[in-house]
Amino acid sequence: MPDERGQVKPEESDTSTRQAALTKMSVHGKWSRPVEVPHGYMMFVDGQFDDWLIGLDSLDADLLDWSQNRLGYAENLLTLGG
């Protein structure tokens, strides 16, 4: 059974339960299949922070930047030191 957040514990999860949940969601047209995406998190020296999700449409470009020690943030391309 799903918990209060709608999550199904792995030991309780089976194909019929997952399929029923996906079918119920698709009937209402509100939800799509879940996907995993990177979550960016920036902590500032004054204690504030910013966070964001990296969409699948920009993931390839972001991975290339990361492999070259660059990080796109707030329409800037930051170079990270090693």
What are the pLDDT tens digits along the chain (82 aa)? 556 666 555 554 455 666 666 555 555 567 778 889 999 999 999 999 999 999 989 999 999 999 999 998 888 999 988 6
What is the amino acid identity at position 74?
A
Judgement on whether residues 43 and 64 belong to the same structural domain of the protein: yes
Scanning the structure block, which residue is given the tokens 């799509």? 32
Judgement on whether residues 43 and 65 belong to the same structural domain of the protein: yes
The total number of structural domains that make up the chain:
2
Enter the DSSP assignment of 47: S
Judgement on whether residues 44 and 26 belong to the same structural domain of the protein: no
Domain containing residue 8: 1-34
- pTM of model > 0.85: no
Q: Tell me how crowded residue 42 is: count the other CB atoms within 10 A of its CB.
A: 13
